[in-house]
Amino acid sequence: MTARNFTTDQSTAMTLDANDPLAHFREEFYLPHNSAGQPQTYLCGHSLGLQPKRAGTLIGEELQSWQMHAVEGHFQGERPWLSYHELLTAGLAELTGSHPSEVVAMNSLTVNLHLMLASFYRPTAQRFKILIEHNAFPSDQYAVTSQIKFHGFDPATARIAVAPRLGEDILRTADILDVLHREGRSIATVILPGVQYLTGQLLDLKAIALVAREQGCAVGFDLAHAIGNVPLELHEWNVDFAVWCSYKYLNSGPGSIGGCFVHDRHAKSDLPRLAGWWGHDKKSRFDMPSEFNPIPGAEGWQLSNPSIFACAPLLASTQVFREAGLERLRTKSLQLTAYLRFLIESWLRDKVEIITPSADSAHGCQLSLRVNTTVEEAKQLHQRLLQQGFVTDWRQPDIMRVAPVPLYNRYIDVWQFASCLRECTQ
């Protein structure tokens, strides 16, 4: 069967699964069951990725190291804790299209966003605005608004929120670029998502970064829904900074360690920052100097030593990513979402609207669905699907998000979900 030569017959899914070169990676993850012990079809990796089986092994090894070595575990054992976070660097660099010196695993997403804005939002009387999207995830909105207030500006005039056009769900690149051309000389910082959390839209980050930089703006991206999901070339795109969490597509566990990108041109800059001991020059860190001398690169923005037990699951997941290969995962991801779109449009064209863009360049794993009924009935439909064993999620006001993840989802998962959705909407 050639790519995307789909039919609605179940045999299509079975053939695609039989010919899937990545099928065996499903065995690398624990698949969820309901309270009765029945297996579930998990399509919610956009919210929380599944647990890599290697995670427990790696955490267990660090517990054993703690038991055996105590404080000396920082320097002894197979993976000494002092440099443990460096084991994550190569994988994160590959996933973000970055140089190893430009990425670091640290903190959580919103902490990292505040740290980046402390350095890259330096408002003046003439250039004091932040460009954000109208439907940004609340944490980003809160962080941006609080930073504006912290610097003594009024969010009503310093916060520019770009929104979809009236009656539309998707941001238009032309509208974002138009705002940058029109307002750019007053915009200090741009902070936009890589993939919009509600609609699943992948923004044209390259074009946005180019125009923002031309206008003299610092440009950063929230990659919570992009990293491990879509190809990124942060260094080549000349992005100033980016932040992300790792518990969605990177499968590192609830509330686990986040990450940060800082372009190499800022590696040895004198940008102001909120400093911490772990960001100090490694060669003199334990001399306990009173004057801060940052590590060149993204590591210089670290505050404290990271939790080893938060790093271990991410190490497990990045190992799997490197074995699977992001290019192959992207190919399968596009095939899975195209198949899901095909089935919904074939069976439910008049009942379910897919608001996620259809172009391959404009989406990742996630498809966001709007059921053509009342909101209350749509919520009930979501619950019925869950009772039938299909784990998706609901986002206000009326969106059901579905994400077939190429590391552990199968084509039969997609077919069975679409089939159940059709039955539940009869």
The residue ranges of every structural domain in the chain are 10-30+325-424, 88-322
88-322 topology per CATH: Aspartate Aminotransferase; domain 2 (3.40.640)
In angstroms, the CA 214 to CA 145 distance is: 25
pTM beyond cutoff 0.75: yes
Q: Which CATH class is domain 10-30+325-424?
A: alpha beta
State the DSSP H helix or E strand holding residue 61, giving kind and residue range, or none if neither: helix 53-69
Q: What is the model's pLDDT at position 314?
A: 98
Question: What are the tens digits of pLDDT across the range 294-307?
Answer: 999 999 999 999 99
Question: What are the tens digits of pLDDT across the range 325-344?
Answer: 999 999 999 999 999 999 99
> Residue 236's CB: how many other CB atoms inside 10 A?
11
Question: What are the tens digits of pLDDT across the range 63-94?
Answer: 999 999 999 999 999 999 999 999 999 999 99
Question: What are the tens digits of pLDDT across the range 109-121?
Answer: 999 999 999 999 9
DSSP state letter for 9: S
Selection from 193, 183, 195 nearest residue 159 by Cα = 183
Q: What confidence tier does 406 reach under pLDDT thresholds 50, 70, 90?
A: very high
